[in-house]
Amino acid sequence: DSLALVQGVVTVSDQYGGPAYIQDDSAGIAVYASDFHNTVNVGDKVTLRGELTVYRGLLEITSTSMGFFVHDTGNVVTPKLTTLEALQDSSVAEAHEGMLLHTRMLTWADTSPAGLDSNWASGAGGFTIKASHGQSSSFDVRVDNTTDINQLADAPDGIFDLVGVMGQYHSTNPYGGYQLLPRTVDDIHLHAEYHGTVTNVSTGTALSGVMVTSDLRSDTTGANGGYVTASGLEGTSLAFSKDGYTPATFSINASGAGFTLMDVGLYPSPDSVVYVNGLETSSDSGYVDTSASAAGTQWAVVRSLQTSMYVSYNNYLDTLIQPASGSFMLALNDADTTNGDTGYVNNSYSIWHAPGVVDLNLLTGYSQKTLSMDIWVGTESCCDDVRAMVKSAADTTDTWMILGEKSGSTGGWVDWNLDLAPIDTMSDAQFALLFDSDYSIVRGLGVLVDNIQVHGRDVWVAMGPSNLSATNFEDDVVNLSWSAPGTGGSVGYQFIDIHDVLETPSSPMEDPKFNTNPEPYFRTVEIAPSNMNMASSRSLAHYNVFRKAEGSTSFTLYDSSSASTSYADAGVTNYMQYHYYVTAVYNEGESGSSNTAMGVPGVVVEAVLPFHEDFHAMNGALPGDWSSEGADVFDWSTGDAEDASGATFTFPYHGEFAYINNDSSTSANPSSPATLVTPFFRHENVVQAAYLKFETFVLKTSTYNGSFDVMVRNSYGPWTTVESLSSATDGWETVMIDVSDHVVGNNYVQVGFRYHEGYYLYRSGWGIDNVKIGLEPGPDNLMTHGSPGAIQLNWGMPLSSVQDPGGSPVGFDENNRPIYLSAPDCEVCEPVDANRIPEVLFGASFDYDEPNQFVEYDAVLDTTTALGPDEPTNWDKAYTDANSSGSFDAGDPGWLRFNWSPSLYNFNQWVISDTFDASGYATTILMFDEYLDDFSGGGDTVAAHVSNDGGVTWTTVWEMADSSWYAPSGPEGYWSRHVIPIGAGTAQMKVAFSMRGASSFNIDYFHVDNIFVLDEVPQDHYDVFNVYRDGEMLVEDHEYTSFTDVGVSYGEEHCYRVQAKHVPYPDGMT
The predicted structure's pLDDT at residue 521: 35
pLDDT digits (tens, 9 = 90+) for 815-853: 555 554 555 555 444 433 333 457 889 999 888 888 899
Q: Three-state SS for 644?
A: helix
pLDDT digits (tens, 9 = 90+) for 444-496: 789 999 999 999 988 877 888 989 999 999 999 999 999 988 775 544 433 33
The predicted structure's pLDDT at residue 890: 85
The predicted structure's pLDDT at residue 563: 87
How far apart, in whole angstroms, are the C-alpha atoms of residue 694 and residue 770?
5
How far apart, in whole angstroms, are the C-alpha atoms of residue 985 and residue 1014?
10
- CB atoms < 10 A from the CB of 533, how many? 10
- 301-315, 532-546, 864-878, 1056-1070: the lowest-pLDDT one: 1056-1070
How far apart, in whole angstroms, are the C-alpha atoms of residue 865 and residue 871?
9
**Nearest to 760, CA basis, from 664, 646, 675:** 664
Q: Is the separation of the CB atoms in 225 and 238 below 8 Å?
A: no
How far apart, in whole angstroms, are the C-alpha atoms of residue 93 and residue 112?
28
Alpha carbon separation from 901 to 237, 469, 870 (Å, rounded): 81, 68, 12
Task: Assess whether pLDDT exceeds 80 at residue 657.
Answer: yes
Task: Assess whether pLDDT exceeds 90 at residue 699.
Answer: no
Phi, psi of 84 (to 5 degrees): -65, -30
Q: Is the separation of the CB atoms in 97 and 166 below 8 Å?
A: yes
Higher pLDDT: 618 or 1019? It is 618
Q: Three-state SS for 237?
A: strand
Task: Assess whether pLDDT exceeds 80 at residue 524.
Answer: no
Task: Report which secondary-structure segment, H or E, holds 102.
Answer: strand 100-108
- CB atoms < 10 A from the CB of 963, how many? 15
The predicted structure's pLDDT at residue 1060: 77
Q: Is the separation of the CB atoms in 221 and 212 below 8 Å?
A: yes
Task: Assess whether pLDDT exceeds 70 at residue 506.
Answer: no
The predicted structure's pLDDT at residue 664: 60
Q: Name the percent of the chain lying above pLDDT 90.
A: 49
Q: Is the separation of the CB atoms in 785 and 959 below 8 Å?
A: yes
Q: Is the separation of the CB atoms in 877 and 866 below 8 Å?
A: no
Alpha helical stretches, state H, 51-171: 84-87, 90-95, 113-119
- CB atoms < 10 A from the CB of 155, how many? 20
The predicted structure's pLDDT at residue 41: 97
Strands (E), 802-867: 840-844, 854-858, 863-866
What are the helix and strand counts (H, E) for the chain? Answer: 6, 74
Task: Assess whether pLDDT exceeds 60 at residue 965.
Answer: no
Higher pLDDT: 813 or 873? It is 873
pLDDT digits (tens, 9 = 90+) for 534-556: 433 357 889 999 999 988 889 99
Secondary structure, 3-state, 375-412: EEEECCCCCCEEEEEEEECCCCCCCCEEEEEECCECCC
Walk me through the domains of the chain, giving residue ranges and CATH numbers.
Answer: 2-72 (2.40.50.140), 80-183 (2.40.50.140), 193-269 (2.60.40.1120), 272-457 (2.60.120.200), 607-774 (2.60.120.200), 792-829+838-1036 (2.60.120.200)
How far apart, in whole angstroms, are the C-alpha atoms of residue 49 and residue 133?
39
Alpha carbon separation from 578 to 561, 567, 734 (Å, rounded): 19, 14, 36
Q: Is the separation of the CB atoms in 935 and 907 below 8 Å?
A: no
Alpha carbon separation from 103 to 92, 131, 138, 161 (Å, rounded): 14, 10, 12, 6
| Torsion from C-alpha of 660, 661, 666, 668, nearest 10 degrees | 80
- CB atoms < 10 A from the CB of 981, how many? 14
Q: Is the separation of the CB atoms in 611 and 774 below 8 Å?
A: yes
Residue 561, class by beta-carbon neighbours within 10 Å (0-12 exposed, 13-18 middle, 19+ buried)? exposed
The predicted structure's pLDDT at residue 339: 45
Over the chain, what is the mean pLDDT? 84
The predicted structure's pLDDT at residue 830: 42
Under DSSP, the state recorded for 136 is: T
Task: Assess whether pLDDT exceeds 90 at residue 782.
Answer: no
Q: Is the separation of the CB atoms in 700 and 727 below 8 Å?
A: yes
